[in-house]
Structures are given as structure tokens and as C-alpha cells.
Amino acid sequence: MIYKLTLEYDGSGFHGWQAQPGRRTVEGEVRRALEVVTRQRSRLVAAGRTDAGAHALGQVVGVALELAPDLKRLQRSLNGLLPPEIAVVGVEEVAPTFHARFSARRRHYRYLVENRGVRPALLQGRAWHVRPTLDRTAMRAAASALTGRHDLGQFGKDPAGRSTVRSLERLEIRRVRGDADGDLIAFHFTADAFLYGMVRRMVGFLAEVGLGLRDSGEAALAAAGETIRPARVAPACGLYQLRVEYPEVA
């Protein structure tokens, strides 16, 4: 039987999602807790592999278990064993054909930028601190040019070397809050799939536009397949995997 786990985690203290020998990872902690609770060895398949320091509000993980558990008890037991930075927010049985990665139809990410002169305290490790004022109008113009179906290979890579064409359905830049000292800015991304490093490199590119370090017109050039100067990579601390959409019948 296949089960779908939905996880929330603060990635600050982990070396990313994927299990690595000798390193503390989200996958390693979840697998360890599952094996204690179910007394079964399990292979986890995640919708995506988050980077070291990145966070998740709706990471989806598929796992096959030989014995059918009581789902509410399984959730309670896992949350009792997992470290406080990880929570299982949902457990459900799904169809045998379900695959956390390949069954996904749409993925949503958010990136937070604390745009103010004073360093953050509450959002330390949870947002990218950019001191100079960002030009949101210029960033939005660039974001609009990147939206749609394009070869986005200049902003990321496919680990398996496959096509780098992606459908970026939404790239929205919103001021979440602001005052005389500065703004908290959220970048919302929705796509059919993401390239490795794509969100962080796009945010880095847009920040350079907002700082006047490059022209917003470069976004249209990149979307058209023309080579541009490599964009900086925004730090992982501001990245949040929000949720993954699946067909009603997976």
C-alpha cells in the first residue's frame, strides 16, 4: 500500500532533504522515525529535494508500507519521534499508481526577502536580507517576461540532463508588509516543474534588476534563449516549498 505524507519543516539545521551519510537531513530523520513506528524498512520518494537551509510548508512524500497502519496513530507517533523542526501535517492512503514526484501537476514556491537597512532578528535564517531598496516595478517587468513556457536552462539545470523547458505559470512579487524602515517582499512561483536551483537563481536575477545592476530587458532575452550574464544565486534561507498539486485521482 502507498501512503502520502505531507511535511512541514524548518530546514535551517539540515543539509537539505536528501539522505547523506554522516549528515543531518530531513529524509534521514523521517525515515528513521518511520522505521521505529512501523518496524518496516521504507523507501521515501519526495515531490522535490529542497536545498540545505531551505524550508517546506507542504513537502509531499510517498512511502510503501506492507502493513496498513492506523493513519491518525501513525501521524501522532511520527510527530512524537521527529525533531521539533519537522512536522507531519497530513497522512493519507493513495492509489498504487501514485508517485510523489511524477504524479505532480503543479508546484508552488515562495521566496522571502527582508528589504531594509537593519539586519533582521525574527527572520534571521528565514529570509534573505537585502539592505539597498529594491525597485519592485523593474523586478515585476522582468518577472512578466519570464512567465510562460521557455527554455530556462540559464536559471537552473535538470540533474538527469533532460530538457530545461518549463512552464512558469506564475511569478508574482508582492510586498507582504512594510514601514518606514523597509519591506518584506514575497516572490511567488508556480510551475509544472522546477529546475535544480531555478527559484534561487531567478530571485538573484530579479534582485540584481531591482538594485539596478542589470536591465529588466535581460529577462526577455533569457526567455528567448539568448545568453545573458549568469545571475547570482539567492541564499537558501528565504526559500519555502509551499505545496504540490496532484490530480484528484492520483
pLDDT at res. 180 = 61
Q: Is residue 42 part of a domain?
A: yes
Full domain range(s) for residue 70: 2-94
Q: Within this chain, do residues 120 and 206 fall inside the same structural domain, yes or no?
A: yes
Are 94 and 62 contacting, i.e. CB atoms less than 8 angstroms apart?
yes
Using one digit for the tens of pLDDT, what is the confidence trace for 42-95? 899 999 989 999 999 999 999 999 887 899 999 999 999 999 999 999 999 999
pLDDT at res. 5 = 97
Distance CA 171, CA 109 (A): 10
Q: Is residue 238 part of a domain?
A: yes
What is the band of 248 on the pLDDT scale with cuts at 50, 70, 90? confident
- Phi and psi angles of residue 7, each rounded to the nearest 5 degrees, phi first: -115, 150
Residue 234 has pLDDT above 60, yes or no: yes
Q: Within this chain, do residues 115 and 191 fall inside the same structural domain, yes or no?
A: yes
- CATH code assigned at 212: 3.30.70.660
Residue 249 has pLDDT above 80, yes or no: no
Using one digit for the tens of pLDDT, what is the confidence trace for 196-225? 999 999 999 999 999 999 999 999 999 998
Give the active site residue among 10, 51, 151, 179: 51
Q: Is residue 99 part of a domain?
A: no
Q: Within this chain, do residues 32 and 140 fall inside the same structural domain, yes or no?
A: no
DSSP-assigned beta bridge partners for residue 90? 6
Q: Within this chain, do residues 134 and 199 fall inside the same structural domain, yes or no?
A: yes
DSSP code string of 12-24:
GGSS-SS--TTS-
pLDDT at res. 141 = 96
Q: Within this chain, do residues 183 and 113 fall inside the same structural domain, yes or no?
A: yes
Mean pLDDT (whole number) for 34-41: 92
Strand 128-130, strand 106-116: pairing: parallel
Q: Is residue 100 part of a domain?
A: no
* Residue found by looking up cell 545573458 in the block: 228
Mean pLDDT (whole number) for 28-46: 93
- pTM beyond 0.85: yes
Strand segments, DSSP code E, in the chain are 2-9, 44-46, 55-64, 86-94, 106-116, 128-130, 148-151, 165-179, 182-191, 239-245
Residue 185 has pLDDT above 90, yes or no: yes
- CATH code assigned at 18: 3.30.70.580
Lowest average pLDDT, out of 37-46, 87-96, 186-195, goes to 37-46
* Sequence letter at residue 131: R
Q: How many beta carbons lie within 10 A of that of residue 65, not counting itself?
A: 15
Q: Is residue 149 part of a domain?
A: yes
Mean pLDDT (whole number) for 3-9: 97
Q: Is residue 135 part of a domain?
A: yes
17 vs 160, residue with greater confidence: 17
pLDDT at res. 161 = 80
67 vs 122, residue with greater confidence: 122
pLDDT at res. 250 = 43
Are 48 and 194 contacting, i.e. CB atoms less than 8 angstroms apart?
yes
Using one digit for the tens of pLDDT, what is the confidence trace for 127-138? 999 999 999 999
Average pLDDT, the chain: 93
* Sequence letter at residue 11: G
What is the band of 178 on the pLDDT scale with cuts at 50, 70, 90? confident
Are 175 and 184 contacting, i.e. CB atoms less than 8 angstroms apart?
yes
Q: Within this chain, do residues 113 and 218 fall inside the same structural domain, yes or no?
A: yes
DSSP-assigned beta bridge partners for residue 149? 167
Q: Within this chain, do residues 120 and 80 fall inside the same structural domain, yes or no?
A: no
Q: How many domains does the chain have?
A: 2
Q: Is residue 130 part of a domain?
A: yes
* Helix-helix angle 136-146:198-210, to 10 degrees: 140
Mean pLDDT (whole number) for 97-102: 94
Indicate if 51 belongs to the active site: yes
